[in-house]
Amino acid sequence: MATPSRPAQDAQAWFRFARERARSQLEAWLSVGEWASQISHLVHMLQRERGASNIWLCSGGQLFAREREFCVTQTDQRVAAFREAPPPLASSGSLLAWRMACALWQLEQLPALRARILARETEPLEAMEGFNLAIRHLLNLVPEASESVDEASLARALTALYSFMQGKELTGQERAIGAIGFTQGAFSEPLRQRLADRIDGQQRCFETFLALAAAEIREGYWRHGEAGLELEQLRRLACTRLPADNDNGARAVRWFALQTTRLDALRDIEEALIAALLAEARRLLAQDNVSESPEALLARRARQQGDMDAPALERHLLPLVRQQAREVESLTRQLASLQTSLEERKLIERAKSLLITHQQLSEEEAWHQLRKLAMDQNKRMVEIAEAMLAVARLWPVTRKE
């Protein structure tokens, strides 16, 4: 689209150019949202195949044989659908084309990876990294699908979505890493470090998402997307020491089931975020159709642009999203250490013990009480635990009769 010619360089000419440009970008954003949904579906199946493959490998082919075969079929169907979905190249630069080439090349390596898994010629962590690469390239397509975001509300919606997708991927990696340790019956120190990093990393991503998402979507996450009590108990086992018994296979299956239920819930929230992105683009398009004289619209936009008190953060969110993509690639160097994660869990356990002792609650009731307080105050559970323990040190707590 050409800019106004020199003889036509007046406010009206630039008004028409700006309006046409904005409409073109909004129409492109509709295809971006639909394409993101295709990527989300494919990534979800790759995450499931990754976890099932790890359990199958670690159990020597004794566990999850049918589940792994089912996941392979479902993933291939999603790959085919992704290949047929046209990427929104009209709204992007060359970087998206490069990322698309890398993503498709990585998907083309899946048959060879599966053959090595089936022949047990690869280690679980090596197989996991093969899936990780494919997922990483797919996720990196999302922030590159539009070269620029001029509307602050769309920038917020995109950042919330991409942060959430990263958090969900780290949850999927947690499932795959835990499947290795529980199936083998032991977590080595490096494996335990990887697990703790993924737990802490997903929390950081979800905090960004919660700061930007709509209230009803945040509520859905608090109700269905957070780790529950039983999953937290298995996390605690993994981060400390597994008991010496013969329940390794059962723990691995239970771990996978709990994490899969959580990931399926996160998948629903992800679709809600994509729907919100599409709805916002449609709202802005409809707003553009409202009859308003050029003079009135120009006067209103001039006042908005001249308002120095208006927050400017939103227009810089897309660079933040792209920076997040680069940071995830060096995750293990950047996330908090295992010790930090373990200390947070100790604080939560102490707060639970306080509630159990003084309020005569069961462990599950104490957990739900902490979780509800965190939800109500829009804080992390460890922050609630710290506050509770600080109060307990200052005042004697009377036992509930």
Q: Please name the residue that has the structure tokens 């009480």.
A: 369
Q: Please name the residue that has the structure tokens 């290949």.
A: 83
Top pLDDT among 138 and 246 is at 138
Cβ atoms 190, 123 nearer than 8 A: no
Lowest mean pLDDT among 18-27, 30-39, 73-82, 172-181: 18-27
What pLDDT is attached to residue 308? 40
Decide which of 1.10.10.10, 1.10.540.10, 3.90.550.10, 3.40.50.450 is the CATH code for 338-394: 1.10.10.10
The letter for the amino acid at 48 is R
pLDDT confidence bin for 91, thresholds 50/70/90: low
Top pLDDT among 34 and 62 is at 62
What pLDDT is attached to residue 302? 60
Rg for the chain, CA atoms, rounded:
24
Does the structure show a pLDDT above 70 at 73? yes
What pLDDT is attached to residue 323? 55
Q: What is the DSSP letter of 225?
A: I
What pLDDT is attached to residue 239? 84
Q: What is the DSSP letter of 261?
A: H
Number of H helices, E strands in the chain: 17, 0
Does the structure show a pLDDT above 60 at 220? yes
The closest alpha carbon to 255, from 182, 322, 195, 158, belongs to 182
The letter for the amino acid at 381 is M
What pLDDT is attached to residue 305? 52
Top pLDDT among 313 and 127 is at 127
Lowest mean pLDDT among 43-57, 79-93, 116-130, 280-294: 280-294
**What is the percentage of the chain residues whose pLDDT exceeds 70?**
76
Q: CA-to-CA distance for 145 and 322, rounded, in angstroms? A: 11
Half-sphere exposure of 291 (CA within 13 A, CB side): 0
Q: CA-to-CA distance for 277 and 142, rounded, in angstroms? A: 12
What pLDDT is attached to residue 297? 61
Which residues, 6 or more positions from 109, have their beta carbon under 8 angstroms from its beta carbon? Answer: 130, 134
Domain ranges of the chain: 24-288+318-334, 338-394
Does the structure show a pLDDT above 60 at 5? no
Across residues 59-66, what is the average pLDDT? 92
pTM: 0.74
Which residues, 6 or more positions from 155, have their beta carbon under 8 angstroms from its beta carbon? Answer: 149, 314, 315, 317, 318
Q: CA-to-CA distance for 57 and 5, rounded, in angstroms? A: 65
Across residues 217-236, what is the average pLDDT? 92
What pLDDT is attached to residue 349? 82
Cβ atoms 346, 382 nearer than 8 A: no
Does the structure show a pLDDT above 90 at 292? no
Top pLDDT among 303 and 141 is at 141
At 155-165, the pLDDT tens digits run: 788 888 989 99
At 311-355, the pLDDT tens digits run: 444 444 555 555 555 555 444 444 444 445 556 777 888 888 888
The letter for the amino acid at 65 is A
For the record, the structure tokens of 148 come out as 């620029």
Across residues 145-156, what is the average pLDDT? 68
Across residues 372-378, what is the average pLDDT? 80
